[in-house]
Amino acid sequence: MNIALRAIPVRGELFHVLQGRSNWPVCVESLPLSRWIATSGAAIGTGTGRTTSLPVSLLMGLANMRLGYWWDSRLNASDRPGSFPGNFWRTLKSRPGSLVRMQSLLLCDFLGRFKGPGQRFWNISDGGHFDGTGIYELIRRRVPFIIALDGTEDAPVAGSNSASLDFGDLAELVRQARIDFGAEVKFVAPPWDGVRPPEWILAWLSDPAGDALGSLDKIGAPDGKHATLAQVTYPGQQEPATWILLLKASLTGDESLDITSYKRNHSAFPSEPTTEQFFNEAQWESYRALGKHIGEMVLSQRAQP
């Protein structure tokens, strides 16, 4: 079964992944929820984002560690507006791949060749090798308000006696947003220093004064905070077009007994490495209870979408 999707323009961008030469919707491949969930857990694959290399791709491919999925967008590169006109030689080279599609995609997997959304078949995964926060694509779309939950592996800052975290994935997001979009991400906290968020943003907080938020160095510190706020500004715009409310999996000393006890016996919690793929009951419940606690501490139940 196919699902027809119509391209919705993104401000400032000429290319759209679902835009053909006409305005007709594209009948893309439909996947069941179970397949999407399995794909979102693709932590291992032959492609590792910007660190993809041929030796590693070959090794992972030969070991059959390929958890990505080749999704059919039903839109060939030649069907896109402004595509480079083909000639006899280019058409001839493309024929073998179209005749033996499965073998061609398997070879791309082994060689780590992923040509991107401009092609018909996309290799999709959880995207963690490129952006572990999930915020990058939302910034690209200039979404006005983003609530992000950061549960990525995050070690304490080397040589620091405090509980400050290094926020490696968050730092990579800030870097990529500046390089790719010219966007500047600035983290702010009360007393705001002249950069006060709009009231409709503060309405989402349990304390409209912003006391539930803190600077990055206060997150995870004793008697510190669990969340912070960031404003994103784009080139040519005077006012922030995006606000990010970041909730970080962290302990500050205000958690329940079972959470603090689990932390004492498992020092890496709640920033355990990605290799930790199997959770027992106590581990699962500790993460769930911590997430519920942070949500109740930071977010207001009065806020309306």
Residue pLDDT, tens place only, 98-108:
678 888 888 88
Same domain flag for 75 and 155: no
Examine residue 182 and state whether it is found in any structural domain, yes or no: yes
**Burial of 293 (C-beta count, 10 Å sphere; 0-12/13-18/19+):** middle
Residues 18-26: what's their mean pLDDT? 79
In the listed set 85, 102, 124, which residue is the last one of a domain according to the structure? 124
Report the candidate in 251, 188, 255 with the shortest Cα–Cα distance to residue 220.
251
Query: Which tops the pLDDT comparison, 90 or 272?
Result: 272
Angle at 32 between CA 27 and CA 35, to 5 degrees: 115
Q: Is the pLDDT of residue 213 over 70?
A: yes
- Considering its fold, how many domains does the chain have in total? 2
Residues 220-227: what's their mean pLDDT? 88
Examine residue 272 and state whether it is found in any structural domain, yes or no: yes
Q: Give the per-residue pLDDT at 244.
A: 95
Same domain flag for 148 and 287: yes
In the listed set 124, 144, 169, which residue is the last one of a domain according to the structure? 124
Q: What is the CA radius of gyration of the chain?
A: 22
Range of the domain at 294: 136-298
- The chain-wide mean pLDDT, for the chain, equals 82
Cβ count within 10 A of residue 126 = 16
Same domain flag for 185 and 219: yes
d(CA 73, CA 17): 9
Read off the pLDDT of residues 24-57 as tens digits, 9 standing for 90 and up. Answer: 888 888 888 888 877 876 667 788 777 888 888 8
Residues 290-303: what's their mean pLDDT? 85
In the listed set 98, 124, 150, which residue is the last one of a domain according to the structure? 124
d(CA 243, CA 274): 28
Q: How many CA atoms lie within 13 A of 255 on its CB side?
A: 30
Read off the pLDDT of residues 157-167 as tens digits, 9 standing for 90 and up. Answer: 555 444 457 88
Q: Is the pLDDT of residue 205 over 70?
A: yes
Query: Which tops the pLDDT comparison, 240 or 26?
Result: 26
The answer to whether the beta carbons of residues 207 and 227 sit under 8 Å apart is no
Token digits of residue 63: 């070991």
The pair phi, psi for residue 219, each rounded to 5°, is: -75, 125
Residues 189-199: what's their mean pLDDT? 81
